[in-house]
Amino acid sequence: MSSGLILVGLGLATVGFAGRYLLRYGKVAGQTLKHQIDSLPVSAPSKYYKGGFEPKMTKREAGLILGVSPSAPKNKLKDAHKRIMLLNHPDRGGSPYMAAKINEAKDYLESSRR
């Protein structure tokens, strides 16, 4: 019975020392980790576009909206538009604004080919 109490006491002491260590040195480790994350290059290529829409549609933005290259063939452009409109159509719960931007992107890329 006394050996059980000794083990419980040693366990509590270990938890206490570990907690004190984390409180004392955990902040330093957290700050170091935050500093390392902040030092990563911001301009790393990303699959996703960060930011809102531009005031005037550009080829780059139209390509990002539809998920195709601005110089994609007409059939690929049509397939991408259909796929995205099925997901974002206002009749299926999508945003009318997003549907308008998707249509604008398709029209812009089609008109830039002519």
Q: What is the pLDDT of residues 37-86, one digit of tens each?
A: 677 666 555 665 566 788 889 998 999 899 999 888 999 999 999 999 99
**In a shared domain, residues 35 and 63:** no
pLDDT value for 2: 78
Q: Enumerate residues 6+ apart whose C-beta is below 8 A from 59.
A: 70, 108, 109, 112
Q: Are 88 and 98 in contact (CB under 8 A)?
A: yes
Q: Output phi, psi for 9, to 5 deg.
A: -65, -45
Residues 75 and 103 reside in one and the same domain: yes
Same domain, residue pair 38 and 84: no
Indicate whether 8 belongs to any domain. Answer: yes
Q: Are residues 33 and 65 in the same domain?
A: no
**Chain-centre distance for alpha carbon 110:** 29
pLDDT at 83: 94
Dihedral sign (CA 70, 73, 83, 94):
positive
Task: Decide: pTM greater than 0.85.
Answer: no
Range of the domain at 96: 59-113
Number of domains in the chain: 2
In this structure, the answer to whether residues 105 and 72 fall within a common structural domain is yes
Please indicate, yes or no, if residue 50 is contained in any of the structural domains: no
User: How many residues are listed for the chain in this entry?
Assistant: 114
- Mean residue pLDDT across the chain: 83
